[in-house]
Structure 1
Amino acid sequence: MQGGIPSSFGKLQNLLLLDLSHNKLHGSFPKEITELTSLTDYLNLSHNSLIGPLPSEVGRLKNLGTFDVSENNLSGEIPSTLSECQVLQYLYMQGNHFQGAIPASLSTLNGIIVLDLARNNLSGSIPKSFEGCQNLHLLNLSFNDLDGRVPNAGIFLNASLVSVVGNRNLCGENHELDLQICPNQECRKPHESHALIVIITTGIVVPVVVVLLYAIRLRKPRSKISSPLLPSEGKYPTTSFAELTKATDGFSTANLIGEGSFGCVYRGVGNFEPKEVAIKVFHHHLRGALKIFQAECKILRSIRHRNLLNILTACSSFDCNGNVFLALVTDFMPNGSLDKWLHPREDGEEVSHKLTLLQRMNIAIDVALALEYLHHHSGTPIVHCDLKPSNILLDKDMVAHVCDFGLAKFLMTPSRGDSSPVTSYTIGIKGSIGYIAPGNHHFQLMFCL
């Protein structure tokens, strides 16, 4: 679609979400949209050609959870009134022409999880108050014109959660952020006498040094904040974007083995055990990709079964352009998905794939065992909610492995003596194209084999 965003949208007072992304819309951001206080899910205007500033009235969207205006031509300063959107969790403003300082008031957003301000014209220093954002998982300030000292506490202690690349005038003590050393700000008067320097050094500096040394001796070493996006603290090793790039030959299309709604899967060979792995790269710019990644991490860290896909490592970092990079590394399944065996293409080699009756029976049993484990033996019962042939992978021995837990649902069983019904907690959005799980708590699986 093209043209401007109609101001009449402001009359849709019951609208819960608005997604106009990936179009050719131009013109300014209509102030009338800020009157939609009913917006509680998300407002996505990304990948268009909007121009001009964001109106200060944007603070009226007090119930908004996700605000995405990335990849436009918006300019002006970032409205400090965004801090009034206290429910806001995801704020994407990258790829615009915003200028001026980063409002320190953004640090007062108690629930903010992702803040992406990359590839703008922002200047000034990074607000030190961001150190106190305890729920902030990803902070992307790369490729701006920021200067001064980078804070050295809170989220800034974990280089996998913060990106400040492309800001040549930043400095700091955290070497993992690839910062230059800040210049010494102390200066001496040119006409100080040597005697006065000796007196100052002896009378002031020496006692201070003694006190500092004593304090350092008593002080416990500061531990780095662990990434909340990784499968678990210390259970799985982590890998870097550079290692995965090398393993996939720069994410070459020759190594592309699959593509889904939220990401692509590549074949990789590197310093892993086993050497050959599958690397699932999430499309970070899609709404809900981060939640799907977190959901899979949460599920996979708590389960282990021979008929479930095994996770080897994870990566939550930034790529060479400063964009968010999320990936899971799993066992490689050389025989692909069950869907390719049941529905072979007519123009490819897979047309010759045929499953014997014994193989069909074994696959059905493998999937049944995986479901039995998820429902009855994994601690809190788990319902997959997206079980289909494309989410069942086959290894070299044709053993089936259930994968893709981004939409899984936990079932909270009632305690003894509690007659209330079973409650559930959904990690992701239920269902997918062509599939809806029958029933709220249990479902039956029928293979047309």
Structure 2
Amino acid sequence: MRCSPKTGAGAVAAISLLLASTACQAGDLTSTTGDAETTITFLSGSEPTDVALTEGVVEAFEAANPDVAIQIETRPGGSEGDNLIKTRLATEDMPELFEYNSGSLFQALNPTQSLTLMSDQPWVAELTENFAPTVTADGQVYGAPWGAGSGGGVMYNAAVYEELGLEIPRTWDQFMANNEEIKAAGKTAVVQAYGTTWTSQLFVLADYHNVEAESPGWAEQYTANQVKYADPPALDGFTHIEEVREAGYINEDAGSTTLDEALAMIASGDGVHFPILSWTLESLAQNNPDAVDDIGFFALPGEDEANYGLTEWQPGGLYIPATATGPELEAAKRFVAFVASQEGCTAMSESAFPGGAYGMRSCTVPDSVPRGIKDVVAYSEQGNSTPALEFVSPVKGPALEQICIEVGTGTRSAADAAALYDEDVKKQAEQLGLPGW
């Protein structure tokens, strides 16, 4: 594999300069292509975890397929990376392989025109029920899972649970009763980390399984502007933030606490619950290896114990642009099939921390993952999970994290916050040109 700042003649000069400056920024990925008959290029993210995952999987594939060599390019993240992906597809300058978001951002790529159809590939039958829709357009599949998913719920200190004789809560009332026991024991019941602003959203976002369970089809109605966050059951997420604050269950320094500090509180047992995404267990395991076996994860409880389950963030997607042809197209399809196999999932697990389940029924995570990840995967394996709202609706307002912080710090009521978020969402939906807005 080689890192190669490849740009085609059709790309504008600005994009060429951008690619030249970012293609090798993640480090020296250069190696020889050996006796390979076909060489293709893979555009990957530039974050260290992205690079580690890509390098590991490419190395495993090349070892099993010596007639194919893969060059790796990297791209920036965030909106800059989004624009780069769209530009390279539009200018027909996209490499034979690229990884990108699944769900609503995948839909924004105009997949039926810009991507290679995958529905005829044998591995498609093994896609999980939750993942398949996130790479499907007009009833056809255009991508495979890239990396693992993640659970949205509550990280907790199981050693403290055992010490206090607590059981995993399956309703919100049970969760609040546990919080009261924990507070009485002199510990912080619910850790909040508003110093890392995105973490503030989990009481709302991780509640989506409960919303959908109580009101089936809510996402479709939400996308069509027929239901609101200001009304139950979606209002509950904002109300829960308010309730834990008013009960005195959160840390006093929540406004400045960072993600790493919150994870340290959970690891030490000074804090017992942390509403968060499960991939953050990687940081906890790295910084507190002696505590990781004491850290579990459970789904955010709702009102109905019978419908208890996990809100699940889906893996990203691996795609082939429609411009790929000939031997390069066939080599790219072989790589995608490898990634979608247990051999490929094993390579992913060995290269990067899996934060949850893979998007293939045929793939398993290794037994070596921490206890909390096993807890997350169990929900998926039991069919007791729902894709997060962002994977089934394109509507998400940019101000949600700040609005949630206002509720968590007592500067705005839950009801006012939900109504404000509905207005924030409206602006974005109108920009997307969605009908009904």
Q: Larger C-alpha radius of gyration, 1 or 2?
A: 1
Band of TM-score, shorter chain = under 0.3
> Using CA pairs below 8 Å that are at least 6 residues apart, which structure has the higher relative contact order?
2
Whichever structure has more strand as a proportion of its residues is 1
Length-normalised TM-score, structure 2: 0.25
- TM-score, scaled relative to structure 1: 0.24
